[in-house]
Every structure is written in C-alpha cells, then in structure tokens.
Amino acid sequence: LGLTPQTVHALGGYRVQGRDDDAARQLRLQARELQDAGASMLVLEMVPAVLARELTEALPRCHTIGIGAGSGTAGQVLVLHDMLGMNLGRMPRFVHDFMQDTGSVRGAIEAYVHAVKAGRFPDDARHAW
C-alpha cells in the first residue's frame, strides 16, 4: 500500500502517499479490507511514519513491512541496488548507501541487517516522512 511502482505515473510520480486526511483514510480502509480478506502481510511504501505505525498497531493479524515508511512497521525491506548505492539518479530519502560505509557487498548487507535489528535504520528523522 502507498506508492506502488507500477502506478507511479498515475500517482503523479514518486510521492509520499497518505499525507492528507482523505488519502490516509483511504489507506486505512484498504489495509483493513486486505486484512479482512485474509492477507497476512502488507508492504507499506512511502507512507508517513505516523500512519505506518498506526496501521501496524491497528492490524493485529497482518504483519507490516516498510520501505520508506519509518521504523514503526513489523519489518523492513530495502532494494539491494539502493542498499549498495547502485542508483544512478537521485537517491530516495528513505535509502541509505550501506556499501559506502563498508566497501563490500557482504559488509553492506550485514550492516543493513544489524542496523535494522538494532533500531538504527530507518531513522525516522532522516529516512521517513
């Protein structure tokens, strides 16, 4: 829920979803409908951290996985190419180049896992809205 790459052009580009009251209400409704339909997991992409945390707490039967949704989700995901700094364009706000910190692919992946488990990534002040 939130930004879906396959609909990015219909949504006006890579923009945070669920910022205004109507859009947030729509995401809440969609999340509830998906849980009621039997979904056991939801990916929340580029939604405000406060909304992602709210959805995580409101959906007891549905685990939330965040990408650009702050630290309040049940889990995190990051595209490998972004994690390794292999993005030729502008780096999205929610991305951190772990390869720059470590110098190796293995080190970058290990650093990402450690940062997520330790609660240092994502940092809501730097990687979320």
19-42 average pLDDT score = 97
Kindly state the helix (H) or strand (E) to which residue 109 belongs, with its residue range. Answer: helix 105-117
Tokens of 118: 């330790």
What's the Rg (C-alpha) of the chain? 15
Q: List residues bridging with 75 in a β-sheet.
A: 65
1-8 average pLDDT score = 78
Active-site position among 33, 45, 54, 57: 45
Alpha carbon 81 to chain centroid, angstroms: 15
In this predicted structure, the answer to whether residue 22 has a pLDDT above a threshold of 70 is yes
Q: CA 50, CA 33: separation in Å to the nearest integer? A: 20
pLDDT band at 87 (very low <50, low <70, confident <90, very high): confident
Average pLDDT of the chain is: 93
77-96 average pLDDT score = 90
pTM, entire model: 0.89
99-123 average pLDDT score = 96
In this predicted structure, the answer to whether residue 71 has a pLDDT above a threshold of 70 is yes
| Domain residue spans of the chain | 1-76, 78-122
Q: List residues bridging with 42 in a β-sheet.
A: 64
Amino acid at 82: D
Residues with Cβ within 8 Å of 20's Cβ and at least 6 positions away in sequence, in order, are: none
Q: Catalytic residue at 57?
A: no
Residue 11: per-residue pLDDT:
66
In this predicted structure, the answer to whether residue 121 has a pLDDT above a threshold of 80 is yes
